[in-house]
Amino acid sequence: MTHSGKKFWPLDPRPGEIAIEDIAHALSHICRYGGHCNYFYSVAEHSVLMASKVSDRNKIWALLHDATEAYLMDLPRPIKPYLPGYAEYEAKLMKCIAERYTLSPEMPDEVKDADNRIILDEMFQNMSYVPDKYKVLEPLGVNLQYWSPNVAKRMFMDAVDEAFTIHSNILWKENKELIIKKMRLEANT
């Protein structure tokens, strides 16, 4: 059951059962790195900070790139490959989320790059130790704020509202001709 009281089956997801409010609530209460950091730092804040550094076209993807964690939890990267079936369930759920919010089926490279680069910002600002393998990356250039869950949820929802407006405008501009043509065809039938 989700925060809103809806029943949800994360291993058998349906787009219509996914609610942005549930995602915002859960991600604002989940600490990055399994809690192994100096200060509470939510997945929601991580997503908002990433969205602030990507192009308008990819803001909504940056905000929702970890949305599966609202239903499957935030598992540290080194653990995921050792859990049989986890990657498949996560991919199935992400596909469902992408469909629900009209995102491209694949995460854009810009978002993948930002997700990898923000790790360095997070480690230098919120970890006791930074492994050498991460020191070769260029940081994304964000400043962690360590928002409380309530602030993180509000900031996430504000960013989502703004990103959805941008996303809708981009979709309209890219598909305006097709939409108008379809409306004319339907009006003539």
Residue count (the chain): 189
What local confidence, expressed as pLDDT, does residue 107 receive? 97
Do residues 171 and 102 make contact, with C-beta atoms less than 8 angstroms apart? yes
Q: How would DSSP label each residue in 116-161?
A: HHHHHHHHHHH-S---GGGTTSPP---------HHHHHHHHHHHHH
Q: Give the mean pLDDT of 119-145.
A: 91
Q: What is the pTM of this model?
A: 0.89
What local confidence, expressed as pLDDT, does residue 79 receive? 86
**pLDDT range class, residue 188, cuts 50, 70, 90:** confident
Which of 94-103, 127-136, 155-164 has the lowest average pLDDT?
Answer: 127-136
Q: Compute the distance between CA of residue 48 and CA of residue 52 in angstroms, rounded to an integer.
A: 6
Which of 7-11, 93-97, 111-115, 141-145 has the lowest average pLDDT?
Answer: 7-11
Do residues 118 and 142 make contact, with C-beta atoms less than 8 angstroms apart? yes
31 strand-pairing partners: 42
